[in-house]
């Protein structure tokens, strides 16, 4: 009975090992995958470089726009100051002319009053 039990165990072990899954060697790394990864990395570097250049261009354009706006504001301030200066000058001239006219009118009125006083005194 021992022999038959050992023989049955041996046959069972042989059957199990024959029906078991065979171990396959791991596949070698595929070269096309490595080339695709390298190509994707190169494309990413180029895209990042182009994005960096675009950011630089946008910053330069923004700087130029700020400079142009500041120049325009400075010119507008200069024009406003010149216009204000002309307005003050015109107002001063008008005030001087009005003062001259008033002085002339006052002198004429004084002369007329003096003449009237002299005429009344006679």
Per-residue pLDDT of the chain (122 residues; tens, 9 = 90+): 677 777 788 777 777 676 766 667 766 655 666 677 788 888 888 888 888 888 888 889 988 988 988 999 889 898 888 888 888 888 888 888 888 888 888 888 888 888 877 777 66
The pLDDT score that the predictor gives to residue 4 is 78
Question: Residue 39: exposed, middle, or buried by beta-carbon count in 10 A (0-12, 13-18, 19+)?
Answer: exposed
User: Using CA of residue 73, residue 78, residue 81, residue 87, what is the dihedral sign?
Assistant: negative
CA of 35: how far to CAs of 26, 39, 63, 119, in Å?
Answer: 20, 6, 42, 124
Q: How far apart are CA 110 and CA 114, in angstroms?
A: 6
Question: Can you tell me whether residue 36 is helix, strand or coil?
Answer: helix
User: Using CA of residue 106, residue 111, residue 115, residue 120, what is the dihedral sign?
Assistant: positive
């Amino acid at each position: 009975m021992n022999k038959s039990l050992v023989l049955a165990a041996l046959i069972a072990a042989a059957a199990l090992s024959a029906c078991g899954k065979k171990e396959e060697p791991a596949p070698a790394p595929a070269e096309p995958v490595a080339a695709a990864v390298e190509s994707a990395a190169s494309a990413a570097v180029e895209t990042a470089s182009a994005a960096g250049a675009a950011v630089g261009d946008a910053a330069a354009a923004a700087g130029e726009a700020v400079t142009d706006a500041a120049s325009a504001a400075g010119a507008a301030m200069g024009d406003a100051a010149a216009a204000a200066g002309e307005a003050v000058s015109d107002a001063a001239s008008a005030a001087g002319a009005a003062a001259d006219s008033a002085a002339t009118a006052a002198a004429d009125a004084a002369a007329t009053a003096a003449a009237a006083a002299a005429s009344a005194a006679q």
